[in-house]
């Protein structure tokens, strides 16, 4: 039996422990909700560019629904209902993963397409303008501009120097594409995707992996786009004149060395909105005429 002041002291200790644990739980929930708020907001901002540039109407609708869910979770967070907001942020991240999976697959396919569009021309240049390609020997032979025709075009002369750059770009482009594809084979990612009950950290890991795919694909696409620009380097003067531009203002939307169907990729690589850039192009073209 408890005697004297022993019982009040014990009760005081028990209450103190309970209050301490309660405060710790509250702090823990607050921290987790805060982390989820910042993390989810950053990803929604980043994915907006992808959706604006490449999203289908269905994907754009899903993104709008995600924003509504995020708003609801954020209101709970602002009201300091941390447990409720934490669960709502979890639901947002679950749906965000489904959207990012679709977009990642699309980015891989577009990267493959852009690199494939350059590979034939690149290998033709690498073979034709190499030291044993049969053209280099003509530089040391006398040339009569009246009676003879050059075996190569003037605008392609730079390929004798740029072939190594083109080869390196092609190699790095496909290397980044393969890195993106390899992420899909990541064992941890496969395990998490097949797990029924996922933790919030599991969701973060999955989102981060899809984000890496986007990064690798953007790099891969950029190497392919740079090859297109190198192959048509002789067109720069005409392009600047067409749009009344200076050299430093040659943004992707004005750079006609890039095939029209890939200008959206070049714009997206700079994290710009293609529709806005397209309007800039139309306005500039009208003013230049």
Give me the domain span that covers residue 33.
Answer: 6-231
Which pLDDT belongs to residue 21? Answer: 47
Cβ atoms of 280 and 269 within 8 Å: the answer is no
In the chain, the percentage of residues whose pLDDT exceeds 70 is 78
Span 37-47, mean pLDDT?
96
What is the average pLDDT value for the chain, to the nearest integer? 85
Report pTM. 0.83
Which pLDDT belongs to residue 5? Answer: 55
Q: Does residue 267 have a pLDDT over 60? A: yes
Does residue 101 lie within any of the structural domains?
A: yes
Select from 152, 222, 142, 150 the least CA-distant residue to 180. 222
Does residue 111 lie within any of the structural domains?
A: yes
Q: Does residue 18 have a pLDDT over 70? A: no
Cβ atoms of 228 and 265 within 8 Å: the answer is no
Does residue 257 lie within any of the structural domains?
A: no
d(C-alpha 234, C-alpha 237), whole Å: 7
Considering its fold, how many domains does the chain have in total?
A: 1
- Minimum mean pLDDT range among 50-54, 82-86, 140-144: 140-144
- Minimum mean pLDDT range among 25-39, 111-125, 184-198, 266-280: 25-39
Does residue 266 lie within any of the structural domains?
A: no
Which pLDDT belongs to residue 25? Answer: 46
For tokens 């997206």, name the residue. 268
Confidence of residue 3 (pLDDT cuts 50, 70, 90): low
Confidence of residue 286 (pLDDT cuts 50, 70, 90): low
In Å, what is the CA distance from 276 to each residue of 49, 136, 236, 267? 12, 45, 23, 10
Select from 229, 285, 234 the least CA-distant residue to 262. 229
60-85 in b/e form (b: 16+ CB < 10 A) is eebbeebeebbebbbebbeeebbebb
């Amino acid at each position: 039996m408890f005697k004297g002041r022993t019982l009040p002291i014990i009760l005081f200790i028990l209450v103190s422990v309970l209050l301490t644990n309660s405060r710790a739980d509250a702090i823990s929930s607050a921290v987790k909700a805060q982390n989820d708020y910042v993390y989810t907001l950053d990803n929604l901002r980043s994915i907006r560019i992808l959706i604006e540039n490449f999203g289908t109407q269905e994907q754009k609708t899903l993104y709008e629904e995600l924003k509504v869910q995020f708003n609801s979770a954020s209101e709970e967070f602002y009201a300091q209902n941390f447990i409720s907001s934490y669960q709502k942020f979890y639901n947002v991240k679950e749906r965000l993963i489904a959207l990012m999976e679709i977009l990642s697959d699309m980015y891989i396919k577009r990267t493959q397409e852009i690199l494939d569009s350059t590979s034939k021309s690149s290998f033709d240049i690498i073979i034709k303008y190499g030291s044993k390609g049969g053209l280099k020997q003509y530089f040391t032979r006398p040339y009569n501009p009246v009676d003879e025709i050059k075996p190569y075009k003037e605008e392609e002369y730079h390929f004798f120097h740029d072939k190594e750059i083109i080869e390196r770009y092609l190699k790095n482009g496909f290397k980044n594409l393969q890195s993106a594809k390899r992420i899909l084979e990541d064992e941890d990612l496969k395990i998490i995707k097949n797990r029924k009950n996922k933790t919030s950290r599991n969701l973060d890991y999955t989102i981060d992996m899809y984000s890496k795919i986007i990064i690798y694909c953007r790099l891969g696409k950029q190497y392919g786009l740079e090859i297109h620009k190198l192959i048509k380097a002789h067109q720069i003067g005409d392009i600047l004149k067409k749009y009344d531009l200076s050299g430093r203002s040659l943004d992707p939307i004005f750079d006609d060395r890039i095939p029209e169907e890939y200008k959206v990729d070049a714009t997206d690589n700079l994290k710009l909105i293609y529709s806005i850039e397209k309007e800039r192009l139309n306005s500039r073209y009208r003013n230049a005429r």
